[in-house]
Amino acid sequence: MSATKWVYGFDEVAEAEQRYGGDWEGVRGLLGGKGANLGEMTRLGVPVPPGFTVTTEACLAYLGGDETFPPGCWEQVEQALHRVEKAAGKRFGDPQEPLLVSCRSGAKFSMPGMMDTVLNIGLNDEVAAGLARLTGDERFVYDSYRRLVQMFGSVVLGRPDEVFEEVLAKHRAEQGVATDSELAAPRLKAIVAEFRRLAGGFPTDPKEQLRLATEAVFKSWNGKRAVDYRNAAGIPHDLGTAVNIQTMVFGNMGDDCATGVAMSRNATSGEPKIEGDYLINAQGEDVVAGIRATKPLEQLAGDMPEMYAQFAAIASRLEKHYREMQDMEFTVERGKLWLLQTRNGKRTAQAAVRIAVDQAEEGLITRQEAVMRVKPDQVDFFLHPQFRPESRKGAVRLANGLNVSPGAAVGVAAFDADLAERWAKQEGKQVIMVRPETKPDDVHGMLAAEGILTSRGGRTSHAALVARQFGKPAVVGVAALEVDMAARTMAVAGRVIAEGDWISIDGTNGDVFLGRLETMVPDISDPWLMRLLTWADEVRKLRVRANADYPVDAERARRYGAEGIGLTRTEHMFFETERLPIVQKMIMTTSPEERAEALARLLPYQRADFEGLFRAMDGLPVIIRLIDPPLHEFLPSTGDLTKRLIDLKVEEARGGKVAGEITEVEALLARVASMHEANPMLGTRGVRLGITLPELTRMQVRAIFEAACAVTREGVVVHPEVMIPLVSHVNELKVQRELLEAEARQVMAEQGIEVKYLFGTMIEIPRAALTAGEIARYAEFFSFGTNDLTQTTFGISRDDAESGFLVRYLRDGILEDNPFATIDRNGVGRIMRLAVEGGRATRPDLEVGICGEHGGDPRSIAFCHELGLDYVSCSPFRVPIARLAAAQAALQ
Annotated active-site positions, please? 462, 851
* Out of 42, 53, 56, 117, the residue judged to bind Mg ion by CB under 5 A: 117
Regarding 248 and contact with ligand ADP (CB under 6 A), the answer is: yes
Regarding 341 and contact with Mg ion (CB under 5 A), the answer is: yes
- Window 844 to 883, contacts with ligand ADP (CB under 6 A): none
Which of 5, 439 has the CB closer to Mg ion? 439
Regarding 403 and contact with Mg ion (CB under 5 A), the answer is: no
Q: Which residues are 336's β-sheet partners?
A: 333
Asked if 450 and 421 touch (Cβ cutoff 8 Å), the reply is no
**In sequence order, which ranges of 323-373 are alpha helices (DSSP H)?**
349-361, 367-373
Of Mg ion, ligand ADP, none, which one does residue 104 interact with (CB within 5 to 8 Å by kind)?
ligand ADP
Of ligand ADP, Mg ion, none, which one does residue 819 interact with (CB within 5 to 8 Å by kind)?
none
Q: Please state the closest distance from residue 401 (CB atom) to Mg ion, in A.
A: 23
CA-derived radius of gyration, the chain = 34
Contacts for 578 with CB less than 8 Å, ≥ 6 apart: none
Which of 440, 876 has the CB closer to ligand ADP? 440
- Window 176 to 195, contacts with Mg ion (CB under 5 A): none
Contacts for 95 with CB less than 8 Å, ≥ 6 apart: 126, 127, 129, 130, 131
Asked if 627 and 700 touch (Cβ cutoff 8 Å), the reply is yes
31 to 60: interface string for ligand ADP, x by CB under 6 A = ------------------x-----------
The interaxial angle of helices 56-64 and 73-88, nearest 10 deg, is 140
- Near Mg ion by CB under 5 A, which window of 106-114, 186-194, 249-257, 266-274? 106-114
Q: Please state the closest distance from residue 342 (CB atom) to ligand ADP, in A.
A: 11
Regarding 441 and contact with ligand ADP (CB under 6 A), the answer is: no
Which of 246, 405 has the CB closer to ligand ADP? 246
Instruction: Report how far residue 611's alpha carbon sits from residue 755's, in angstroms, rounded to the nearest whole number.
Output: 14
SS3 29: helix
Which of 249, 748 has the CB closer to ligand ADP? 249
Closest CA to 372 of 563, 543, 535: 535
Regarding 790 and contact with Mg ion (CB under 5 A), the answer is: no
Of ligand ADP, Mg ion, none, which one does residue 873 interact with (CB within 5 to 8 Å by kind)?
none
Which of 113, 858 has the CB closer to Mg ion? 113
Q: Which residues are 581's β-sheet partners?
A: none
Of Mg ion, ligand ADP, none, which one does residue 102 interact with (CB within 5 to 8 Å by kind)?
ligand ADP
Closest CA to 181 of 112, 280, 269: 280
- Near Mg ion by CB under 5 A, which window of 117-125, 252-260, 418-426, 762-770? 117-125
Q: Please state the closest distance from residue 461 (CB atom) to ligand ADP, in A.
A: 12
Which of 218, 759 has the CB closer to ligand ADP? 218
CB atoms within 10 A of CB 234: 7
SS3 365: coil
- Near Mg ion by CB under 5 A, which window of 116-124, 702-710, 790-798, 842-850? 116-124
Q: Please state the closest distance from residue 63 (CB atom) to ligand ADP, in A.
A: 19
The interaxial angle of helices 786-794 and 828-842, nearest 10 deg, is 120
Instruction: Report how far residue 579's alpha carbon sits from residue 577's, in angstroms, rounded to the nearest whole number.
Output: 5
Segments of 535-670 assigned E as strands: 543-547, 565-569, 621-625
**Three-state secondary structure along 30-93?**
HHHHHHHHHHHHHHHCCCCCCEEEECHHHHHHHHHCCCCCCCCHHHHHHHHHHHHHHHHCCEEC
Would you call 271 exposed, middle or buried from its count of C-beta atoms within 10 A (0-12, 13-18, 19+)? Answer: middle
Which of 456, 558 has the CB closer to ligand ADP? 456
- Window 107 to 166, contacts with ligand ADP (CB under 6 A): 112-113, 117, 119
Q: Please state the closest distance from residue 102 (CB atom) to ligand ADP, in A.
A: 3
- Window 284 to 323, contacts with ligand ADP (CB under 6 A): 284-285
Which of 264, 761 has the CB closer to Mg ion? 264
- Window 321 to 340, contacts with ligand ADP (CB under 6 A): 329, 331, 340
Query: Residue count at the site for Mg ion (CB under 5 A)?
Result: 3
Query: Residue count at the site for ligand ADP (CB under 6 A)?
Result: 17
- Near ligand ADP by CB under 6 A, which window of 163-171, 240-248, 622-630, 637-645? 240-248
Segments of 162-307 assigned E as strands: 241-247, 258-263, 275-280, 295-296
- Convert 8-30 to b/e letters by CB count within 10 Å (16 or more is b): bbbbbbeebbeeeeeeeebbbbb
Of Mg ion, ligand ADP, none, which one does residue 693 interact with (CB within 5 to 8 Å by kind)?
none
Which of 115, 349 has the CB closer to ligand ADP? 115
Q: Please state the closest distance from residue 338 (CB atom) to ligand ADP, in A.
A: 7
End-to-end C-alpha distance for the chain, whole angstroms: 39
Asked if 892 and 866 touch (Cβ cutoff 8 Å), the reply is no
Of Mg ion, ligand ADP, none, which one does residue 220 interact with (CB within 5 to 8 Å by kind)?
none
DSSP conformation letters of 135-174: HS-HHHHHHHHHHHHHHIIIIIS---HHHHHHHHHHHHHH
- Window 280 to 309, contacts with Mg ion (CB under 5 A): none
Asked if 397 and 494 touch (Cβ cutoff 8 Å), the reply is no
Q: Which residues bind ligand ADP (CB under 6 A)?
A: 49, 102, 104, 112-113, 117, 119, 246-249, 284-285, 329, 331, 340-341
Q: Which residues bind Mg ion (CB under 5 A)?
A: 113, 117, 341
